[in-house]
Amino acid sequence: MFNVTIIEQKIGDRQGQEAGIGFGDVVNELDKKYDATGLQEAIQNNARRIIYYQQPDGLMYRLLRANFDGLPSADLLIGADRIHSTIRQLVGAPTGRYAGYVSLRGTINEQELSRQTCEYFSDYVVPTDDRNFTPGERLINFVWYYNIADSSAEMNDVFSDINRKHHRKTVPVGLVRLGIWEKVRGPIQIAEPFAEVLAKVKSPFVTNINDSIRGCAYFYDDKVVLVGDAFASFRPHVAAATEQCAYHSNSLERVYVGQKTHETSEDDVRRYARQMILLNRIIGYLGRSAFFSLFKSLTSYIIFVLWQKLGRRKVP
């Protein structure tokens, strides 16, 4: 039995971000094995299981903490404090690379939308933070992408909140200036369900999009390990960040019960991260019509797949 310290990022009194997260088989496997609360935490739909998540006090957060709180600490340090991880910085891991665009995300209650729009977005329904799963009272989860040049005047403007405080990565819910949101969603030709959602959402949050991967997961004679976004961060298109966390947890468990070596575990999580990074880049570049970058990512992905087919463990 190991004592574990989880280093978790919490920025002051940061408010909930009102966004859904998607997860699939890997999270389900971990949930069935370890969750002792027995509470329903997600909505099953045609695309994947989706849960409403509010950081740091959201549903997923509270369920995870309910299963972990009270354990002592000492033997293993797990850096799980996201891309700007303190532990990540201490071990010298690279920071994320900006992708050239930002996301504006949020939710809106089904009660505020027409029946047709609710039906259109039926695969993007999430429960409320207080576990309301009642049809007609749930939330529609949305994300809107917007291109902004790095270090530009527009970037600085978008990431300056209503109090003119500048944010490095995310402007939280309630702090995005109305003029910014009106500019981003501006007068464009778009399908009616999308137009209704964009018109009625009043307070999204904005986050810059980036990705990165750290070559090593274990440090200091395997006493320190990076997991989740602290190890590798993805663009959001495949919605694989939560899956990655569960994948790392399962892999770490197998190391400490003797089913894997640290080296094998590190190879596995690096391979998983490389695949997700490339898939997200392909989808992102396709959506932005960035065809040269799309070609490069497709080529890299084909090489990656062929490399795995040849039985090579190391990621190219």
Taking only the tens place, the pLDDT of each residue in 147-172 is 999 999 999 999 999 999 999 889 99
2 or 201, which is more confident? 201
Confidence (pLDDT) at 310: 85
16 or 217, which is more confident? 217
Token pair of 56, please? Answer: 């740091």
55 or 128, which is more confident? 128
For residues 267-278, average pLDDT: 94
For the chain, the average pLDDT equals: 82
Q: Could you give the percent of the chain with pLDDT greater than 70?
A: 76
Alpha carbon 304 to chain centroid, angstroms: 23
97 or 50, which is more confident? 97
Q: What is the pTM of this model?
A: 0.77
For residues 289-302, average pLDDT: 94
Confidence (pLDDT) at 8: 56
| pLDDT band at 272; cut points 50, 70, 90 | very high
Structural domains in the chain, CATH included, are 4-94+212-260 (3.50.50.60), 97-209 (3.30.9.60)
Residue 9 has phi, psi (to 5 degrees) of -80, 130
Which range, of 2-6, 70-74, 177-181, 243-247, averages the lowest pLDDT? 70-74
Is 50 exceeded by the pLDDT of residue 15? no
Return the closest-CA partner of residue 243 out of 42, 83, 23, 21: 23
Is 80 exceeded by the pLDDT of residue 178? yes
Is 80 exceeded by the pLDDT of residue 128? yes
What are the start-end ranges of the H helices in the chain?
Answer: 25-34, 59-68, 86-90, 115-120, 153-158, 178-185, 192-200, 241-256, 262-287, 291-309
Confidence (pLDDT) at 13: 42
Token pair of 4, please? Answer: 């574990």
Which helix (H) or strand (E) is 226 found in, with range? strand 224-226
Rounded Cα distance between 60 and 292, Å, is 38
For residues 259-272, average pLDDT: 93
For residues 32-58, average pLDDT: 55
In this structure, are residues 245 and 227 in contact, taking their beta carbons and an 8 Å threshold? yes
Confidence (pLDDT) at 92: 75
Which range, of 94-98, 137-141, 177-181, 266-270, averages the lowest pLDDT? 94-98
Report pLDDT digits (tens) over 200-252.
988 899 999 999 887 789 988 888 899 998 899 999 998 888 889 999 999 99
Token pair of 315, please? Answer: 């990621």
The residue to which tokens 């080296």 are assigned: 263
Is 50 exceeded by the pLDDT of residue 55? no
| pLDDT band at 56; cut points 50, 70, 90 | very low
Token pair of 194, please? Answer: 């999308």
Token pair of 111, please? Answer: 């009660």
Pairing of strands 125-126, 139-147: antiparallel
Kindly provide the b/e burial profile for residues 84-102, where b requires at least 16 CB atoms within 10 angstroms of the residue's own CB. Answer: bbebbeebebeebebbbbb
